[in-house]
Amino acid sequence: MPGSDVERSAMARALELARRGPLGVNPQVGAVLLSPDGEVIAEGWHHGAGTAHAEVDALAHADPDAVRGATAIVTLEPCNHTGRTGPCAVALIEAGVARVVYAMADPTPEAGGGAERLRAAGVEVESGLLADDAHALLSSWTGLQRRGRPHVTLKWAQSLDGRAAAADGSSQWITGPTAREDVHRRRGAADAIVAGTGTVLADDPSLTARNPDGTSRDAQPQPVVIGTRDLPASLRIHAHPRELWHYRTHDLHDVLRSLGERGVHRVFVEGGPSLQSALLREGLADEILAYVAPVLLGGPRVAIQDIGVPDISAAHRLRLDEVRRLGDDLLIVLRPDTSADEAAAANDPSEGVS
């Protein structure tokens, strides 16, 4: 049964190997091949789109004779479809693997079904070993599969009275250095930083992630700008170490769908108010980070504009996840409150009826 010390150790190693793979359109997957007496025969992981999947990578490093009767420990259910590579389930069957243990099922309809195919060929299959660890590793990828778009985090800094800038439009340094350091840490964890053309033209941001000492991080998120206006060559964004992706459109659904197709899992939206408000209006925000400074600005430069709320009954209800003090500022972390929708679905007599 899965869960023996040997298999748990092998799955932990497979998860470690999976983390070596890049984030992208395909999931991070690792595999370990074990002999019948529990010795490691070979290891493998997925190196990126178009390359061999983890199971095939491991098989390529193994003695074919040693693989017959072996156990394959894999972090994700072996795939059952032909894309740029063939089905991993078939590769394992043809190699003579006797047993497959995987952590979590493949959630994609086109790739799922590998377990059934293996069982039909007489291979013993077990699932669920270190499943929580696998789900944590693949949470951004599975979210992309479920939503059809990346996870979207909106971030803004505001005064206590809800302003994102002074009356003249100046907005730098509303919050203090501790809050700004937190922002850069979160930027560095994102796959892409997104801003509207209005913010880029007004503030000339670099859209980079920096270390506490001000130096650039080695790994930089992808810079993305949305809007139809031209961006002069003198802007700092053109000096970004990664090529700018400029979407000249107002269709945010199409932009996010395109980013997902390009392997972007997590989007960090830096502004401005027009873009942030449009994403809220379209129901495309998964997380909100509001950095609130103890300062009053007044004037018309509000942090959030029209989000399609004609009356109080249509208010966007949010769930408060965290409040943290950062120096003199507060970070408020919120997510859309879907409890009302979930309750309505649970009480809908037609729900679940086919």
Name which of 61, 58, 63 is nearest 73 in CA terms.
Answer: 58
Residue 333: how many CB atoms within 10 A of its CB?
Answer: 16
Query: How would you list the strands of the sheet with 192-196, edge to edge?
Result: 245-247, 222-226, 192-196, 266-271, 151-159, 287-293, 329-336, 318-326
The Cα–Cα gap between 12 and 134 comes to 9
- Catalytically active residues are 55
Is the Cα torsion angle 28, 267, 223, 229 positive or negative in sign?
A: positive
Residue 5: how many CB atoms within 10 A of its CB?
Answer: 8
Q: Six-digit token pair at 130?
A: 């270190």
- For 67-115, write each residue's pLDDT tens digit: 999 999 999 999 998 877 789 999 999 999 999 999 999 998 877 899 9
Burial 34-47 (b: 16+ CB within 10 A, else e): beeeeebbbbbbbe
pLDDT at 339: 54
Concatenate the DSSP letters of all residues of 204-243 into one string: ------B-TTSPBPSS-PEEEEESSS---TTSGGGGSSS-
Cα–Cα distances (Å) from 275 to 196, 238, 245, in that order, read: 6, 20, 16
pLDDT at 344: 41
Q: Tell me how far apart the terminal alpha carbons of the chain are, to the nearest angstrom.
A: 37
Q: Six-digit token pair at 44?
A: 């493998």
CA 130-46-57 angle, to 5 degrees, is 100
Name which of 294, 292, 343, 287 is nearest 320 in CA terms.
Answer: 287
Q: Six-digit token pair at 7?
A: 């298999």
Residue 86: how many CB atoms within 10 A of its CB?
Answer: 15
Helix (H/G/I), strand (E/B), else coil: 318: strand
**Can you give the pTM of this predicted structure?**
0.80
Place of tokens 């009275």: 161
- Which mean pLDDT values do the consecutive 10-residue runs of the chain (354 residues) have? 83 98 91 97 94 96 97 96 85 97 91 92 97 94 92 96 90 90 94 95 93 90 97 96 96 97 94 94 96 96 94 94 97 83 42 31
The Cα–Cα gap between 354 and 131 comes to 30
The Cα–Cα gap between 335 and 318 comes to 5
- For 183-193, write each residue's pLDDT tens digit: 999 999 999 99
Rg of the chain over all Cα atoms, to the nearest angstrom: 24
Q: Six-digit token pair at 37?
A: 């007496």
Q: Six-digit token pair at 324?
A: 């943290």
The Cα–Cα gap between 271 and 286 comes to 15
The Cα–Cα gap between 1 and 7 comes to 9
Cβ(75)–Cβ(29) below 8 Å: yes
Cβ(53)–Cβ(29) below 8 Å: yes
